[in-house]
Chain A
């Protein structure tokens, strides 16, 4: 059974600092997603990573994928308060009958001045 683990679970960081969130998954998958969730809100798609070595960047966030290591990272550069949210990685399971996503436990990020 596919399992997805994120670390850290909680991250409190100062504005202007850099940090990386890690996402490990247990079996082969075709694609990996990163989502952001604000309190009481739904999931906002940040990145879709489709192949080994894929790297995508949007503003202060950069995501990468290493399918051989079954590892994805979400790197935060020069954090700002607006990045405070919970971040989830999710891996899809495209079998014959389903495209369901398996989500990680989430990383709750708090950025303080």
Chain B
């Protein structure tokens, strides 16, 4: 596709509910990143994939957060038993190889009520 696509754009979840956020990177891009952006803050790194391999998950805030990219293209970020502090915009980015500029998607705004 022309850019990084994320869905849904908006998600409202009740506390305790599980959610799944999808990212379609730019076709052929090897690297994929997830970031979390709380209101009024800069994005914070969650996890990084190179193809299907999750090479860095040091930013995942708890074991309720899980990300996968099974075929090296589409990625899903799953949050189990959502809490209010999970409310944020979740941004996905992709780049065509290591050490090159990453392009960001529109993000998914998650609100936990």
Contacts and interface: CB of A to CB of B under 8 A. Distances in A.
B25 interface: no
Contact of A99 (B35, B43, B95, B106): B95
Interface string B63-107: 000000000000000000000000000010001001101111111
Interface residues of B, number: 25
Interface of B: 31, 33, 35, 40-45, 48, 55-56, 58-59, 91, 95, 98-99, 101-107
Contacts of B102: 99, 101
A48 interface: yes
A106 B42 contact: yes
A102 B91 contact: no
Contacts of B44: 103
A78 interface: no
Contact of B91 (A30, A42, A106): A42
